[in-house]
């Protein structure tokens, strides 16, 4: 009796309910773990066999509005690494992983009607609440019912990807409060509500003795490098690559390899190095690998679960060394070991709850996750608020979003990091080049696009979907909505500002979080020398390029006080189109200390307009 286990975002052995249940299973003699590349979500044409005339039968996997690749090169690589890791871990247990291309229901039909004959007695998968994934599940179920003729067990397991299990929530997802704070308050102390993770299986049933081949025209590569190449090759030609000058000496904040093994190593590193304990103080950082956990990519692909992170932090806090993998025993020597929850571990849990909350919002609001007026639009409709009639969009959101069509050129400059606003440009270039950018930078970029440029925020969300290594349906679209003022942010759609609600002033945020313009200098090659000596005038230029003339004029009589390198770097900016003509000039004046503008010490800020 064979079982087919369809994997999606549960690409791990430990804390996996299906693998857990399959140890010594009485019914299934053979199990086929199967990963299917969905051609609408990831471009599969690179997996076509290189024969003359061979062509992918599927349309390109592009986004709805901006027509970007839905899965860009960074995530494609991270996914391939994770699949390869899972494959070798499964092989070590006497099992394996089969990879295929196609619509999930087609592949399952092929196995039930052809490949395995009548030997398949079960098809299992884990739950995923995103709308495309729900549809996939419905389609597979229909095939199992039809082709299985009642003889095939169909089972959908809880994916266990939440920190708090559904059954332990004090409310049903339909009654989820519309603010995170109310949700958090209703949960009570976490320790009682997080279930322990499931152990890694010690053994698994073997693969079926033979597995049907991948149908023509596709071929699954037999090496990790081959798989990465096949997934990245079709994505290669991008006109942005020629627009973004390569940064000098920039190091990715996300140099990590995909997969469960690496995910565990990352948690080990965070605990051993103390980075988990200092997280609260460092989390708004912009540069380096350890200012935040960088667990998002591992969580998004299901290489690790939130409750594993919680459990390992708890083991560290409670001096329960037997609860962590054996190799981590040097944990006992780390500062903070056995001293209970600290500021850092509490803050990580808090963020993991945000993750749960975004998932629950997706369940509550379904497809309005992707609609222009978002959750607020749906809330307004359900309360019979019909503000459109009064010339307003639902929930107080300003209605005049520019469409992608009408704002193509502006969007291109946003994408390529040539807006003229330093923090935004650095982040957009970092995203394109590495697949990662910090939460602080994401908030600013989303606010810049949606609230300052007034462009349809969904195009930004699509671009993030394409570029992010850690793309996650609920987190990405939910956070974009939140910042755009159409999601569950109580201050999101107030009266302030033309586009409605709270918005970040990216120049002020630059001064607050990148006060020496190191982040801008790292990613914006044209700015690499601007401000490197820490003089405030050139930092001002790095953060708000259009200030170049003002700063040079201010210094006309005192240029001797600025070194040649800094002065030349600023002067070189004068001819640059995107510096001279920024997309928008956002006002912010820093109050200059008494000692002169060259002071780099403590500074006071004056708000020119509401900024957060
Ligand atoms: C516009 C925008 C788009 C985003 N898109 C994504 C996305 O596609 N995938 C994604 O995982 N996160 C997304 N986030 C949330 C957040 O920016 C990332 O989770 C975080 O930057 C990842 O880095 P980290 O793992 O070091 O996070 P840490 O700061 O170390 O946080 C720990 C974990 O908590 C969770 N988390 C942290 N912040 C949030 C948040 N605001 N909402 C939900 N969960 C959170 C993540 O799982 C993260 O790994 C987005 C945020 C914004 C503002």
pLDDT on residue 399: 55
Look up residue 34 and give its two tokens.
Answer: 């199967």
For atom 6 of ligand 1, the residue with the nearest CA is 476
Range of the domain at 105: 2-160
CATH number at residue 574: 1.10.579.10
* Ligand 1 binding pocket mutation candidate from 467, 479, 484, 492 (most atoms within 8 A of CB): 479
Say what percent of the chain tops pLDDT 90: 71
The whole-number average pLDDT for the span 472-484 is 97
489 annotated to a ligand binding site: no
Q: How many domains is the chain built from?
A: 3
Tokens 């700063």 locate to 551
Q: Which atom of ligand 1 is nearest to the CA of 473?
A: 8
CA of 464 to the centre of ligand 1 (A): 12
Residue 268: count other Cβ atoms within 10 Å of its Cβ.
17
- 541 shares a domain with 444: yes
pLDDT on residue 602: 29
For atom 29 of ligand 1, the residue with the nearest CA is 292
> Is it the case that residue 440 has pLDDT exceeding 70?
yes
Give the lowest-confidence range in 9-23, 90-104, 237-251. 237-251
Vertex 12 angle, CA 10 and 13, to 5°: 125
For atom 20 of ligand 1, the residue with the nearest CA is 439
pLDDT on residue 393: 53
Q: Cα(321)–Cα(72) distance, rounded to whole angstroms?
A: 39
CA of 314 to the centre of ligand 1 (A): 21
Tokens 């919680």 locate to 310
- 429 shares a domain with 418: yes
Tokens 């920039």 locate to 250
pLDDT on residue 575: 85
* Ligand 1 binding pocket mutation candidate from 351, 354, 359, 435 (most atoms within 8 A of CB): 351
Comparing 238 with 419, which gets the higher pLDDT?
419
Residue 490: count other Cβ atoms within 10 Å of its Cβ.
13
For atom 24 of ligand 1, the residue with the nearest CA is 294
Strand partners for 589: 606
Q: Report the largest interatomic distance among the alpha carbons of the chain, rounded to a whole angstrom.
A: 88
Does 384 reside within a domain? no
Minimal CA–CA distance to 120: which of 101, 155, 145, 148? Answer: 148
- 466 shares a domain with 433: yes
Look up residue 162 and give its two tokens.
Answer: 């939440």
> Is it the case that residue 76 has pLDDT exceeding 80?
yes
For atom 47 of ligand 1, the residue with the nearest CA is 296
Evaluate whether 375 touches 360 at the Cβ level (below 8 Å). no
Instruction: Provide the H-helix boundaries in 68-214.
Output: 73-92, 104-109, 131-148, 180-187
- 436 shares a domain with 519: yes
Q: Alpha carbon 29 to chain centroid distance? A: 38
Minimal CA–CA distance to 4: which of 208, 295, 167? Answer: 208
Comparing 55 with 606, which gets the higher pLDDT?
55
Q: Cα(529)–Cα(569) distance, rounded to whole angstroms?
A: 6
Binned at pLDDT 50, 70 and 90, residue 598 comes out as very low
- 574 shares a domain with 484: yes
CATH number at residue 301: 1.25.40.80
Comparing 197 with 330, which gets the higher pLDDT?
197
CA of 296 to the centre of ligand 1 (A): 6
Does 290 reside within a domain? yes
Comparing 150 with 467, which gets the higher pLDDT?
467
The whole-number average pLDDT for the span 563-580 is 84
Q: Which atom of ligand 1 is nearest to the CA of 460?
A: 1
392 annotated to a ligand binding site: no
CA of 590 to the centre of ligand 1 (A): 30
145 annotated to a ligand binding site: no
> Is it the case that residue 195 has pLDDT exceeding 50?
yes
pLDDT on residue 185: 93
> Is it the case that residue 605 has pLDDT exceeding 60?
no
What H or E segment, with its residue span, contains residue 226?
A: helix 224-232
Q: Cα(242)–Cα(487) distance, rounded to whole angstroms?
A: 35
471 annotated to a ligand binding site: yes
Q: How far apart are the first and last CA of the chain?
A: 60
Does 206 reside within a domain? no
CA of 289 to the centre of ligand 1 (A): 15
Binned at pLDDT 50, 70 and 90, residue 383 comes out as low
DSSP 19: H
390 annotated to a ligand binding site: no
What H or E segment, with its residue span, contains residue 32?
A: strand 30-37
Q: Cα(222)–Cα(80) distance, rounded to whole angstroms?
A: 12
Q: What's the mean per-residue pLDDT of the chain?
A: 89
* Segment 197-243, tens digit of pLDDT: 999 999 999 999 988 889 999 999 999 999 999 999 999 877 788 88
Tell the burial category of 264 from Cβ atoms under 10 Å away from its Cβ (0-12, 13-18, 19+). buried
For atom 5 of ligand 1, the residue with the nearest CA is 476
Does 329 reside within a domain? yes
Binned at pLDDT 50, 70 and 90, residue 557 comes out as low
* Segment 20-70, tens digit of pLDDT: 999 988 899 999 999 999 999 999 999 999 777 789 999 999 999 999 999
**Strand pairing class (604-606; 589-591):** antiparallel
Give the lowest-confidence range in 117-121, 131-135, 363-367. 117-121
CA of 480 to the centre of ligand 1 (A): 11
pLDDT on residue 261: 97
* Segment 515-544, tens digit of pLDDT: 999 999 999 999 999 887 788 888 999 999
CA of 356 to the centre of ligand 1 (A): 11
Does 218 reside within a domain? no
- 121 shares a domain with 26: yes
294 annotated to a ligand binding site: yes
The pocket around ligand 1, CB under 6 angstroms, is made up of 283, 292-296, 299-300, 348, 351-352, 354-355, 358, 438-439, 442-443, 446, 464, 468, 470-472, 475-476, 479-480, 483
Among 337, 366, 395, residue at a domain's last position: 366
- 187 shares a domain with 105: no
CA of 475 to the centre of ligand 1 (A): 7
* Ligand 1 binding pocket mutation candidate from 282, 295, 296 (most atoms within 8 A of CB): 296
> Is it the case that residue 360 has pLDDT exceeding 90?
yes
Binned at pLDDT 50, 70 and 90, residue 498 comes out as very low
CA of 378 to the centre of ligand 1 (A): 24
- 185 shares a domain with 304: yes
292 annotated to a ligand binding site: yes
Among 312, 337, 366, residue at a domain's last position: 366
Q: Would you tell me the crossing angle of helices 306-317 and 343-365 to the nearest 10 degrees?
A: 160
- 130 shares a domain with 166: no
The whole-number average pLDDT for the span 383-400 is 51
Minimal CA–CA distance to 286: which of 438, 500, 507? Answer: 438
- 596 shares a domain with 482: yes
Does 460 reside within a domain? yes
Among 133, 160, 187, residue at a domain's last position: 160
Q: What is the 3-state secondary structure (H, E, C) of 293-340?
A: CCCHHHHHCCCCCHHHHHHHHHHHHCCCHHHCCHHHHHHHHCCCCCCC
CA of 149 to the centre of ligand 1 (A): 43
User: CA 60, 62, 67, 69 torsion: positive or negative?
Assistant: negative
**Overall size of the chain counted in residues:** 612
* Ligand 1 binding pocket mutation candidate from 439, 446, 476, 513 (most atoms within 8 A of CB): 439
pLDDT on residue 612: 30
CATH number at residue 36: 3.40.50.620
pLDDT on residue 384: 53
pLDDT on residue 394: 52
Give the lowest-confidence range in 80-94, 447-461, 556-570. 556-570
- 186 shares a domain with 140: no
Q: Cα(544)–Cα(538) distance, rounded to whole angstroms?
A: 10
- 582 shares a domain with 489: yes
> Is it the case that residue 114 has pLDDT exceeding 90?
no
CA of 472 to the centre of ligand 1 (A): 9
Binned at pLDDT 50, 70 and 90, residue 496 comes out as very low
Does 338 reside within a domain? yes
Does 118 reside within a domain? yes
pLDDT on residue 561: 52
């Amino acid at each position: 009796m064979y079982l087919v286990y369809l994997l999606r975002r549960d690409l791990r052995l430990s804390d996996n309910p299906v693998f857990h249940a399959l140890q010594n299973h009485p019914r299934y003699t053979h199990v086929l773990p199967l990963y299917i590349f969905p051609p609408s979500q990831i471009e599969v044409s690179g997996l076509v066999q290189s024969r003359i005339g061979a062509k992918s039968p599927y349309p390109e996997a592009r986004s709805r509005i901006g027509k970007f690749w839905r899965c860009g090169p960074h995530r494609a690589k991270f996914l391939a690494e994770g699949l390869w890791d899972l494959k070798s871990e499964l092989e070590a247990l006497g099992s394996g992983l089969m990879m295929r291309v196609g619509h999930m229901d087609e592949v399952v039909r092929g196995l039930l009607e052809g490949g395995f004959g009548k030997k398949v007695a079960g098809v299992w998968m884990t739950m995923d609440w995103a709308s495309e994934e729900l549809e996939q599940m419905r389609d597979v179920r229909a095939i199992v019912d039809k082709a299985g003729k009642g003889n095939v067990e169909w089972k959908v397991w809880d994916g266990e990807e939440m920190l708090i299990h559904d059954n332990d929530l004090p409310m049903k997802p339909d009654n989820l409060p519309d603010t995170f704070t109310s949700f958090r308050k209703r949960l009570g102390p976490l320790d009682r509500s997080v279930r322990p993770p499931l152990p890694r299986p010690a053994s698994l049933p073997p693969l079926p003795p033979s597995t049907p081949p991948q149908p023509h025209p596709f071929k699954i590569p037999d090496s990790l490098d081959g798989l990465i190449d096949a997934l990245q090759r079709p994505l290669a030609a991008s006109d942005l690559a020629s627009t973004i000058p390569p940064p000098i000496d920039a190091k990715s904040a996300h140099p990590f390899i995909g997969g469960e093994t690496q995910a565990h190593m990352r948690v080990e590193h965070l605990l051993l190095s103390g980075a988990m304990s200092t997280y609260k103080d460092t989390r708004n950082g912009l540069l380096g690998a350890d200012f935040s956990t960088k667990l998002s990519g591992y969580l998004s692909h299901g290489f690790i679960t939130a409750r594993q992170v919680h459990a390992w932090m708890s083991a560290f806090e409670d001096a329960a060394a037997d609860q962590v993998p054996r190799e981590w025993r040097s944990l006992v020597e780390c500062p903070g070991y056995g001293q209970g929850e600290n500021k850092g571990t509490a803050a990580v849990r808090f963020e993991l709850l945000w993750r749960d909350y975004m998932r629950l919002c997706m369940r509550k609001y379904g497809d309005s996750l992707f609609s222009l007026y978002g959750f607020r639009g749906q809330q307004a409709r359900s309360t019979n608020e019909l503000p459109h009639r009064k010339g307003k969009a639902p929930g107080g959101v300003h209605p005049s979003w520019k469409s992608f069509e009408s704002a193509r050129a502006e969007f291109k400059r946003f994408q390529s990091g040539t807006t003229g606003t330093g923090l935004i440009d650095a982040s957009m270039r970092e995203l394109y080049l590495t697949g990662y950018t910090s939460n602080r930078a994401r908030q600013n970029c989303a606010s810049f696009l949606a609230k300052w440029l007034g462009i349809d925020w969904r195009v930004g969300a699509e671009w993030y979907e394409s570029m992010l290594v850690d793309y996650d349906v609920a987190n990405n679209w939910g956070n974009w909505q939140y910042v755009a003022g159409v999601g569950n942010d109580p201050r999101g759609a107030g009266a302030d500002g033309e586009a409605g609600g709270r918005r970040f002033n990216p120049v002020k945020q630059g001064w607050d979080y990148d006060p020496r313009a190191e982040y801008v200098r790292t990613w914006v090659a044209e700015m690499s020398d601007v401000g490197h000596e820490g003089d405030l005038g050139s930092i001002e230029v790095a953060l708000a390029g259009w200030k170049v003339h003002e700063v040079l004029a201010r210094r006309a009589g005192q240029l001797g006080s600025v070194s040649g390198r800094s002065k030349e770097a600023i002067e070189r900016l004068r001819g640059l189109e995107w510096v001279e003509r920024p997309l928008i000039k956002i006002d912010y004046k820093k109050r200059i200390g008494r000692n002169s503008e060259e002071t780099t010490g403590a500074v006071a800020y004056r708000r020119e307009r509401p900024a957060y």
